[in-house]
Chains A and B, each alone.
Chain A
């Protein structure tokens, strides 16, 4: 419970730094917006600044902004004037959905991969996958995305190239709609998951190897437990324990990756919103997203810590019987 209070300074720090970074970088955003418009006089710019509260001293601006944030008021997008909150809310489920699907894919693939490599450590499978993963790790995800697009969308014409739905989506029946969405999301989720798969499977392998060397493995066998039970009940459970932490920690990576592949695949999600805002110097959206994503990361780490405490009996029950 004490840990929750520890989050508060973290939150303040995040917001402070986000704010400072944006404010301290050169180039007043409002000016950028209207500077090229000769019809806007200096007087009008001053008024606009006053409206946005940009003429106040820095710490007052920060406090204003912070109180707004806490009330979920993120201001208005400088691009189209819509409330930032709205724009974020419409994209949030899409991005979260894709990232969650990614996580699931990562777990489904990386864990068996890592375990199998550990069980036959040094063997052909192990060496082969280690090499492949090492190479994949060094490959830029956007490049892989482009290659996959080239292969699946253009040459094989198996999958659609962009967006999350086809043009005549509204006319589809429900099962057709579901399949359509799945076809659209297949490559993005795959690309998003690749980085996580490399990391997690290497980690699983290392963890599994360490567990297999533990004394209690010998004791389990000595009790006559069949090898299958020894490995999949005893060893695997021990090896999987820290996964919760890893998953929590991979959140920032996934979110960061969203920016790139959402842009490539034209997915209307948070990442793409951020990218567009970045291109247009849409300050309010940028700040809101940075804070949002950082908070999500902070929560992710926090949940990962809590989950681990809950799941590992050595930490959960610390008292002596």
Chain B
């Protein structure tokens, strides 16, 4: 396993940030929303490892708690997208015919929307909340898992072991669940891993624009939004959250590369 460097590196990074997210309360003595008027905009020091922001809040603690938001939104959103996608895609592939054509048409239409515009549009009209964000990202990202699982199943459908299963009278549902899906899920898994990185990117973007997670709940994206006003004065508020996003997404990308190699 260690021979697969990407897999190892990716897993290491993700475990690091997961730990950061889960253990946040223990890693820092400062509350992320604790305003400290006497310590505004302090650069990194022994007391505040990553410095403080314009309201005197400890940046490190905000980043730790921000990990919770970003990771959970990322994973949940991709979960929604993948479940939806696998569901529609496998149905379309298995039953074929009109169902398949309709679904593929729907996919084509959905793919015409520049995802970010669509997400932004919906986010603008709805109340920003973690639940909504997860839902929105999930509902606009199901197309790729759907396509993937569909093409995998289509190619598997005609293989011998499926004919054999049909011959002994296995019901359709059973065939899908027990025979087709397990073999077809490989690329979907890789896609999902990459997708988590993508979802984190989208959520950061939304929060950065003010349409995602609302302050004072810290999200790496909205910390960056606040850093806009202190640009040039407090470099740490810009650099660190961005680095967190970068390294986390890198972690998922490495993991995806590693998985790709394993699946072959």
Residues of A at under 8 Å CB distance from B?
9-10, 13-14, 17-18, 21-22, 25-27, 29, 134-135, 137-140, 142-143, 146-147, 149-150, 154-155, 251-253, 255-257, 259-260, 263-264, 274-275, 277-279, 281, 283, 286, 289-290, 293-294, 297-298, 301
Q: Report if B113 contacts A (CB, 8 A).
A: yes
- Given A135-B250, A260-B209, A294-B112, also A142-B117 (CB < 8 A): no
Judge whether B121 and A290 touch: CB under 8 Å. Answer: yes
User: Taking the complex as formed, is B19 at the interface, i.e. its CB lies under 8 A from any CB of chain A?
Assistant: no
What is the distance, in angstroms, from B247's C-beta to the closest C-beta of chain A? 8
Main secondary structure of the interface of A (DSSP, over half): helix
Given contacts A139-B246, A150-B232, is CB(A274)–CB(B117) below 8 Å?
yes
B109 with A10: CB separation less than 8 A:
yes
On whether A14 and B246 interact (CB within 8 A), knowing A146-B228, A275-B120, the answer reads no
Query: Is the Cβ of B249 less than 8 Å from the Cβ of A138?
Result: yes
Query: Shortest beta-carbon distance, B184 to chain A, in Å?
Result: 24
Tell me whether A140 and B117 are in contact in the complex, defined as CB-CB below 8 angstroms, given that A13-B106, A14-B109 are known contacts.
no
How distant is the Cα of A29 from the Cα of B124 in the complex, in angstroms?
Answer: 11
- Structural contact, A297 and B122, CB atoms closer than 8 A: no
Contact pattern, B 97-129, Cβ under 8 Å of A = 1, otherwise 0: 000000001101110111111101111111100
A286 touches B121 (CB 8 A): yes
Chain A residue contacts of B121, Cβ below 8 A: 21-22, 274, 278, 286, 289-290
Q: Which of B44-52, B73-81, B235-243 contacts A (4 or more CB under 8 A)?
A: B235-243
Q: Would A10 and B112 count as touching, CB distance under 8 A? A: yes
Contact residue range for chain B? 35 or more
> Which chain B residue shows the least CB distance to A22?
B125
How far is B36's CA from A156's CA once the two chains are assembled, in angstroms?
32
Complex Cα gap A298–B110 (Å): 10
Question: Are A138 and B250 also in contact (CB < 8 A) when A146-B224, A252-B115, A274-B120 are?
Answer: yes
Minimum CB–CB distance for B143 against chain A, Å: 13
In the assembled complex, the Cα of A274 lies from the Cα of B242 at a distance in Å of 24
When C-beta atoms are compared, the residue in chain B nearest to A277 turns out to be B124
Is B245 an interface residue when CB atoms closer than 8 A count as contact?
yes
The residue from B211, B224, B235 contacting A278, defined by CB atoms under 8 A apart: B211
Q: Pick the contact of B231: A10, A149, A297 (CB < 8 A).
A: A149
Query: Is B250 a contact partner of A256 (Cβ separation < 8 A)?
Result: no
- Residue among B106, B121, B241 with the most chain A CB within 10 A? B121
**A278 CA to B126 CA, complexed, in Å:** 10
B197, A142: Cβ atoms closer than 8 Å:
no
Chain B residues within 8 Å of A135, by CB: 246, 250
A-chain residues with CB within 8 Å of residue B239 when the two chains form the complex: 147
* CA–CA, A147 and B237, complex, Å: 11
Stretch at the interface among B87-95, B162-170, B173-181, B200-208: B200-208
Q: Are A27 and B208 in contact (CB under 8 A)?
A: no
In the complex, residue of chain A having the shortest beta-carbon distance to the beta carbon of B120: A278
Are A259 and B209 in contact, with the CB atoms below 8 A?
yes
| Chain B residues whose C-beta falls within 8 Å of the C-beta of A147 in the assembled complex | 238-239, 242
Is B210 among interface residues, defined by CB-CB distance under 8 A? yes
Considering only CB atoms, which chain B residue lies closest to A26 in the complex? Answer: B126
Determine whether the beta carbon of A263 is less than 8 Å from that of B209.
yes
Beyond known contacts A140-B205, A150-B231: 5 more, CB 8 A cutoff? A17-B113, A25-B125, A139-B245, A259-B117, A263-B209
Which 4 residue pairs spanning A and B have beta carbons closest together?
Answer: A278-B124, A256-B116, A143-B242, A252-B114
How far is A150 from B124 in the complex, measured between Cα atoms in Å? 29
Let me know if A142 and B109 touch, CB within 8 A: no
User: For A278, what are the chain B residues with a Cβ–Cβ distance below 8 Å?
Assistant: 120-121, 123-124, 209, 211
Question: Which partner residue on chain B sits nearest A9 by CB separation?
Answer: B105
Check B193 for interface membership: any CB of A closer than 8 A.
Answer: no
Kindly state whether residue B144 has any CB partner on chain A within 8 Å. no
A95 CB, nearest partner CB in chain B, Å: 12
Which residue of chain A has its CB nearest to the CB of B233? A154
B197 touches which one: A138, A264, A274, A297 (CB < 8 A)?
A138
Cross-chain contact B106 with A255 (CB below 8 angstroms): no
Which residues does chain A contribute within 8 Å of B113, judged by CB atoms?
14, 17-18, 252, 290, 293-294, 297
Q: Which residues on the B side are within 8 Å of A293 (C-beta)?
A: 113-114, 117
Q: How far is the CB of A61 from chain B (nearest CB, A)?
A: 16
